[in-house]
């Protein structure tokens, strides 16, 4: 079963709008939650990551919100731009990389319309 469930599968947002992608996890031992951005024909690239000692992390227009009790975290893209059109993956693991338990969500294809 998928340990990290991501929704929605696809999302269409108007330029300037807010894009919101949600993820839920099952393993309470997970303590590292990254988001990846992937453009067609390219490998995923780390966008932003959070650890459960904080409830929110912001980097530019990208914000992760984290709810430990609900075992959920989400990515908010403010002022969405056509250049943000990509597939986004959430993930979760214990202690980051360098082990074998990183689990990815199925991905969300974001389209930002001009």
- Applying CB under 8 A, the residues found at the interface with another protein are 2, 4, 6, 32, 41-46, 49, 89, 91, 95-98, 100, 102-107
Instruction: Choose between 1 and 69: whose C-beta lies nearer to another protein.
Output: 1
> What is the closest distance, in whole angstroms, from the C-beta atom of residue 86 to another protein in the complex?
14
Cα 86 from Cα 11, distance rounded (Å):
10
Residue 62 near residue 76 (C-beta atoms within 8 A): yes
> What is the closest distance, in whole angstroms, from the C-beta atom of residue 89 to another protein in the complex?
5
Residue 47 near residue 60 (C-beta atoms within 8 A): no
Residue 3 near residue 71 (C-beta atoms within 8 A): no
> What is the closest distance, in whole angstroms, from the C-beta atom of residue 105 to another protein in the complex?
5
């Amino acid at each position: 079963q998928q340990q990290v469930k991501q929704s929605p599968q696809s999302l269409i947002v108007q330029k300037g709008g807010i894009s919101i992608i949600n993820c839920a996890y099952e393993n309470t031992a997970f303590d590292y939650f990254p988001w990846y951005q992937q453009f067609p024909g390219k490998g995923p690239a780390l966008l932003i990551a959070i650890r459960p000692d904080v409830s929110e992390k912001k980097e530019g227009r990208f914000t992760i919100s984290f709810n430990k009790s609900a075992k959920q975290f989400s990515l908010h893209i403010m002022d969405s731009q056509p250049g943000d059109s990509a597939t986004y993956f959430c993930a979760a693991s214990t202690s980051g990389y360098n082990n074998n338990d990183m689990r990815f969500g199925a991905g969300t294809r974001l389209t930002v319309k001009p």
